[in-house]
Amino acid sequence: MRYTPHAVRLIAEGESLLFPAWVRQLAAEYGDTGGNRAARAVLERAQLTEREAEVLRLMARGLSNAEIAARLVVGTETVKSHVSAVLSKLGARDRTQAVIAAYESGFVAPG
């Protein structure tokens, strides 16, 4: 499996791991392309900043905090702060719940 060394390193660093294929499967099983009204309402009420929304989109693509930091040219601590804000605003207990809400609401689309 090509993700194995990367997965082991992330988990050892205390990160969460979401493989893009898993995210697409979750979205296909639990979301619809038009978006779930309740999930849309949660996302609208969350009032994410532009940066938080960008971080959520990258989380939904399966990127780790380190990968998001590299993509946005910021430190991992900054990304962790944004992730924490996203989770708090969405009322999500973890990244997986936040990503599912993003797909269910239509905020991001599979693929």
pLDDT digits (tens, 9 = 90+) for 28-56: 666 554 556 666 666 777 788 999 999 99
When computed from its CA atoms, the radius of gyration of the chain, rounded to whole angstroms, is: 14
Residue 110 lies in a domain: no
Count of structural domains, the chain: 1
What is the band of 1 on the pLDDT scale with cuts at 50, 70, 90?
very low
What is the pLDDT, as a whole number, of residue 70? 97
Whole-model pTM: value is 0.66
Residue 4 lies in a domain: no
Listed residue (25, 33, 20, 72) closest to 51, CA to CA: 72
- Concatenating the DSSP letter of every residue in 7-68 gives HHHHHHTT-----HHHHHHHHHHH--TT--HHHHHHHHHH---HHHHHHHHHHHTT--HHHH
Strand, coil or helix: 96:
helix
Residue 10 lies in a domain: no
Residue 71 lies in a domain: yes
Residue 54 lies in a domain: yes
Residue 1 lies in a domain: no
- CA gap 69, 73 in Å, rounded: 6
Q: Which domain holds residue 65?
A: 18-105
Task: List the end-to-end C-alpha distance of the chain, in Å, as a whole number.
Answer: 21
* CATH number of the structural domain spanning residue 51: 3.40.50.2300
Residue 2 lies in a domain: no
Instruction: Provide the percentage of residues in the chain whose pLDDT is more than 90.
Output: 43
Position 81, amino acid: S
